[in-house]
């Protein structure tokens, strides 16, 4: 269980934390791994470090299963590896998004739900579209461009590790909404990266989902125009990430017109 120091303090105050002979901290079967010297101002970005760069935090691990904190695991992890990796000889498995298949649909939903600054999401999508990232269609070799990142099951192969590093680079450069950049990295690798994308409904057989009241972790999520970042608003820029949003792109994006988006679900 990877936690920041604020969460660790809360856990120690509310539940029993035992220590082993090597001073490792445990809650039940979960060993607490505190993250210190967090790299980002924005909590959501900090969460991407253990989520995407798992192979860097645990270099001796051959396999990993990432699950979000809102999920309660109810099956043996070895059965998850058997079902999603070993049985059909996959090395990387992730759930597909429940509502969206195109990153442009997901970007539109993120803007409507104020998941990050709208103009910054638009800029990221403009760059991706300019670089050839088309909306998802039946012509593509994947069943979707948009994952549900609450669970990631992977073998730590060299190619999977490369994919995760490239994916993290996009999260670091642009917005922390990792669903927007997953499909882009798949596209840039031109079919070299193979993965298994399973149905979202299979969650119910693996986890109990504990819904939580979402709190906005940054004022930047409410930004509607780039002008709000000027003057006194410049303090809202993240100081240690998102630099791709403020570095001039070498090409002219003024002519880019994003593909139209049709809402495929009321919930989306």
Question: Over the stretch 189-198, which tens digit does the pLDDT of each residue have?
Answer: 999 999 999 9
- Domains of the chain in start order, with CATH, are 1-37 (no CATH), 40-236 (3.90.550)
pLDDT score of 98 more than 80: yes
Average pLDDT over residues 126-137: 96
Q: What mean pLDDT, rounded, does the chain reach? A: 91
> Number of H helices and number of E strands within the chain?
8, 10
What pTM was estimated for this model as a whole?
Answer: 0.92
Alpha helices by DSSP H, the chain: 5-14, 43-52, 54-57, 77-81, 103-112, 118-130, 158-173, 179-188
Centre a 10 Å sphere on the Cβ of residue 62 and count the other Cβ atoms it contains. 9
pLDDT score of 216 more than 70: no
Question: Over the stretch 229-253, which tens digit does the pLDDT of each residue have?
Answer: 777 767 777 888 888 888 889 999 9
Closest CA relative to residue 146, chosen from 185, 179, 195: 179
Three-class DSSP category at 6? helix
Q: What percent of the chain is predicted at pLDDT more than 90?
A: 68
pLDDT score of 264 more than 80: no
Q: What percent of the chain is predicted at pLDDT more than 70?
A: 95
């Amino acid at each position: 269980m990877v936690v920041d120091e604020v969460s660790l303090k809360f856990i120690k105050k509310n539940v029993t934390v035992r220590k082993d002979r090597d001073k490792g901290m445990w809650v039940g079967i979960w060993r607490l791994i505190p993250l210190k010297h967090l790299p980002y101002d924005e909590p959501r970005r900090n969460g991407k470090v253990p989520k995407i760069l798992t192979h860097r935090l645990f270099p001796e691990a051959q396999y990993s299963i990432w699950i979000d904190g809102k999920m309660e695991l109810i099956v043996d992890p070895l059965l998850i590896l058997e079902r999603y990796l070993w049985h059909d000889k996959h090395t990387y498995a992730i759930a597909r998004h429940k509502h969206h298949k195109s990153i442009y649909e997901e970007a539109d939903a993120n803007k409507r739900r104020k998941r990050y600054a709208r103009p910054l999401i638009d800029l990221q999508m403009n760059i991706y579209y300019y670089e050839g990232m088309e909306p998802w269609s039946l012509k593509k070799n994947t069943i979707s461009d948009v994952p549900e990142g609450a669970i990631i099951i992977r073998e730590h192969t060299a190619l999977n590790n490369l994919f995760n590093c490239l994916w993290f680079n996009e999260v670091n450069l642009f917005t922390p909404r990792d669903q927007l950049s997953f499909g882009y990295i798949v596209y840039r690798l031109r079919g070299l990266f193979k993965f298994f994308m399973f149905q979202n409904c299979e969650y119910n057989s693996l986890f109990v989902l504990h819904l939580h009241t979402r709190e906005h972790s940054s004022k930047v999520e409410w930004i509607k125009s780039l002008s709000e970042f000027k003057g006194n608003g410049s303090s809202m820029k993240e100081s240690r990430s998102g630099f791709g949003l403020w570095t001039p792109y070498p090409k002219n994006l003024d002519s880019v017109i994003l593909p139209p988006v049709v809402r495929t679900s009321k919930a989306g």
